[in-house]
Structure 1
Amino acid sequence: MKKIYVLLLLSFVILKATAQTDTTTSKILSKSETDEFFSDAFRKKNLIKFPIFRAYTYTDKSGTYYVALTESADSINQAKDTVNNTIKAFNFKSDKGIVLKKWEINDFKTPSLKGVEKEGSIWFWTKYCEFNDLDGDGLVDPIVVYGTFGTNGYDDGRAKILIYYKGQKVAIRHQNSVLDPARKTQVDLTFYALPAKIQTHVKELMEKMVEKKHAIFPSAYADKMDKKVTQIGN
């Protein structure tokens, strides 16, 4: 009887732990939902000056969060694409009517040199952005990806992957190029302290970027990352 009781207790603990890690949710906000949370007054108070390209909300065991990806939308080019010189992202936690900013992203395209444009635009690559619990600890691990167009499109543009793990930002910065000496990837050393599941997921995401021709990583890149190489050129 005692053994049965212990087994039942263990089963209860396991089920409870599983339930806790399955409570995360995330979704893209509709325009009306975006306007409701990110009202004009809220945007003014929090210095959100650019148009919101996309907004998300997610909930995990620590609370409910709202994310706004904003782009400067400075002009329209000949291909009728929006040109952004600057991007900003904001993450807010909402708890019992109190909203606090948790983190912010600011970046911009490389400025022109003597009137010559090195990059055409910078924008969020939302097909790679995600807000999921990657390691099963009940906390969402946001991944935000953005990049630029160079003079030859993606071939010489930049890409940046930002992972937020328990409030800590971990970055992978990449310069595309069809020439080996000009191609460079920088990986924060803190990446290697992330749980293995998150590291694997990010490497798979990078492989997807290569498949979609949005990034050019060295063929032996995955092996080099496993060896904790923080800057890769060849």
Structure 2
Amino acid sequence: MKKLYVLLCMAFLMLQASAQSDSTHSHTLTKAETDDFFTPAFKKKNLINFPIFRAYTYSDKSGTYYVALSESSDKIKAKDTINNTIKAFNFKVDKGVATKKWEINDFKLPDTKGATIESSIWFWTKYCEFTDLDGDGLIEPIVVYGTFGNNGYDDGRLKILVYYKGQKSAIRHQNGVLDGERKTQVDLTFYSLPAKVQAHVKELMEKMVKNNHAIFPSKYLDKMAKKATQIAD
């Protein structure tokens, strides 16, 4: 009887996890879908003044959301779009009413003494995700963006933003070829995130290194993992 009870409990937990997974959904909006939701009137009301580069929608047990990633598109240079500023917006839709839940604002570093520090800033949609990482039925949005320095990615900046139950945790990183040029700042709130979320972000960071988009020494990533374990203990 006891064995049967354990099996029933396990089956219930598996069904519950499956139901939570099935209750979440996300996808990238087409241009037509983007224009349908982010109408000129809606953009004007919510001060979305830059062109929307990419838009998403996602749903979980807390509701339905729409996200717009917008870039200033200041000029075209060698077929590349140069952005001085970026903004992102997250709206929750309930009974036909859209309420802004969070907003991201950032810009490339200004020139100093006639020297260009950064040439452009943009969203790295290759690493942006809207997934339920810990199986609690809530999606954890991850938004990543960065800049080009004088040597491209090698001395640019990047920022990883993780939204967990409405709270933002950030990892800010300055790339650099030399050890002394690199600097990484991790919000303390990041180490309070579920282990699965932290592990996934670390995997993203490793992927950035593999793709030559960031320079995170392996010993630093190991240090992050060790600190997460110490805080959990």
C-alpha separation in 2, matches of 1:189 and 1:211: 26
Deviation for aligned residue 1:222? 1.6
- 1:1-234 superposed matches below 5 A: 11-12=11-12, 14-77=14-77, 79-228=78-227
Q: What do residues 38-91 of structure 1 show as CA deviations (whole Å, max 9, x unaligned)?
A: 0000000000000000000000010000000000000112x2211000000000
Deviation of 1:4 after TM superposition, in Å, equals: 6.7
- The amino acid that maps onto 1:188 is D
Q: How many pairs are equivalent? A: 228
Letter in 2 for 1:181: G
In the aligned structure 2, how far is the partner of 1:18 from the partner of 1:227? 31
TM-score, with structure 1 as normaliser: 0.92
Change in Cα spacing, 1:10 to 1:177, as seen in structure 2 (3 Å) is closer
Shift of 1:218: 1.8
String of CA shifts for 1:166-201, please: whole Å, max 9, x gaps: 000000000000011010111111111110001110
CA distance in 2, matches of 1:60, 1:14: 18
Q: Is the 8 A contact 1:132 1:140 kept in 2?
A: yes
Inter-partner Cα distance in structure 1 for 2:6 and 2:160: 46
Unpaired runs of 5+ residues, structure 2, are 229-233
Q: Name the one with the larger helix percent.
A: 2
Structure 1 residues 179 and 99 mapped into 2: Cα distance closer, same or farther (>3 Å)? same
Q: TM-score, normalised by structure 2?
A: 0.92
- Tell me which residue corresponds to 1:232: none
Assess, with a 3 A threshold, how the Cα gap between structure 1 residues 181 and 42 changes in structure 2: closer, same or farther: same
| Percent of residue pairs bearing the same amino acid type | 75
In the alignment, the residues of structure 2 paired with residue 208 and residue 217 of structure 1 have an alpha-carbon distance, to the nearest angstrom, of 10
Deviation at residue 127 of structure 1 after TM alignment:
0.4
- For 1:8 and 1:158, locate their aligned partners in 2 and report how far apart those are by CA, in whole Å: 51
Contact kept, 8 Å, 1:189 with 1:228, in 2: the verdict is no
Q: How far apart in 2 are the matches of 1:24 and 1:218?
A: 34
AA partner of residue 51 (structure 1): P
Structure 2 counterpart SS, 1:228: helix
Q: After superposition, give the CA deviation of every residue in 1:111-168 in whole Å (9 maximum; x if it has no partner).
A: 0112211000000000000100000000000000000000000000001000000000
In 1, the alpha carbon distance for the partners of 2:7 and 2:32 equals 50
Tell me which amino acid in the other structure corresponds to 1:209. M
User: Measured at CA, do residues 2 and 34 of structure 1 come closer, stay the same or move farther in structure 2, by a change above 3 Å?
Assistant: same
CA distance in 1, matches of 2:219, 2:5: 53
CA drift of 1:5 comes to 8.6
Root-mean-square deviation (Å) = 2.0
